[in-house]
Amino acid sequence: MSTGKALLVTGGSRGIGAEVVRMAAARGWRVAFGYVSNEVAADVLVREIGEAGGEAFAVRTDVGIEADIMRSFEAVDRRFGRLDALVNNAGVVDVKARVEEMNLERLERMMRINVIGSMLCAREAVKRMSTRNGGSGGAIVNLSSAAARLGSAGEYVDYAASKGAIDTFTIGLAREVADEGIRVNAVRPGLIDTEIHASGDQPDRLQRVRGQIPMKREGRAVEIAAAVVWLLAEEASYCTGALLDVSGGR
Ligand code: NAP
């Protein structure tokens, strides 16, 4: 078994999370990652990493369910016996709507998955990593969004507000655990080519929004993963409470 540091990535089976898993594994991290329904994608990724000489396993985890979160951290405890980093990547959008059309069910789902899920995962990570709790320190990276700055009017203000909460959570938690060996940062992607847009019933979103981006192109998931993996690494040792925009100037 490798002696590398252990990382947990939520929502790691596809999109940005999968690129984080790939890049981190290639750099020697032992990686546990979650998925919620696409078991095939998760299995393919585990196999791919094994064939490349890395170590990864997948655990079905809906971050909207606390018992699932507890199970995934326990799986890391059993398999790796340590935790050195967490990437709070799992996140959802919803269909395009104005605020007056949003019902309670939609708002509760958005906040439960995007905000509370990330906070519960961070809680479990801090319990294990904080020097205050006998841990060896570590790093947390939260996936926010440029939407936290832009507000997503007429599209999904609820999603933007959930990412605004992630920004504030990042700053607060970073300061809370700064002298306990844990760095906490966020990456704010702009428009990135993943399946999230189709999941919000806007498969043509890339083409529609591309023109508003100063670089005039969408980003690739691997360009976000590079920022995330850097923030996890020792090279970012003096970086905490940072909100890193990776958005082509948008
Ligand atoms: P994606 O392509 O839709 O992939 C989502 C991943 O999260 C999948 O692995 C999915 O698992 C998992 N997932 C979905 N619901 C989950 C839940 N309730 N609990 C646990 N895992 C869940 O998304 P993405 O575009 O890579 O986005 C990743 C993160 O970046 C999100 O936080 C998103 O808000 C943020 N972001 C994305 C963009 C963008 O343009 N793409 C821009 C800004 C911010 P299954 O495979 O099992 O479905």
Give 150-196 pLDDT, tens digit per residue: 999 999 999 999 999 999 999 999 999 999 999 999 999 999 999 99
- 3-class secondary structure, 125: helix
Rounded Cα distance between 95 and 88, Å, is: 22
Ligand 1 centroid – CA 89 distance (Å): 7
Rounded Cα distance between 165 and 205, Å, is: 24
- Residue 39 makes CB contacts below 8 A (sequence gap 6+) with 58, 60
Nearest Cα residue to 228 out of 165, 183, 195: 183
Q: Whose CA is nearest to atom 21 of ligand 1?
A: 11
Nearest ligand 1 atom, CA 117: 19
Position 107 pLDDT exceeds 80: yes
Cβ 152 under 6 angstroms from ligand 1? no
Position 3 pLDDT exceeds 70: no
Percentage of the chain exceeding pLDDT 70: 99
**Hey, what are 111's tokens?**
């906040």
The pLDDT assigned to 1 comes to 41
Cβ 118 under 6 angstroms from ligand 1? no
String of DSSP letters for 153-216: TTT-HHHHHHHHHHHHHHHHHHHHSGGGTEEEEEEEE-SB-STHHHHTT-TTHHHHHGGGSTTS
Cβ 54 under 6 angstroms from ligand 1? no
Q: Whose CA is nearest to atom 17 of ligand 1?
A: 62
Element (H or E) spanning 58, and its range? strand 55-60
- 3-class secondary structure, 246: strand
Catalytic residues: 159
Which residue's entry shows tokens 């990493």?
49
Q: Whose CA is nearest to atom 35 of ligand 1?
A: 143
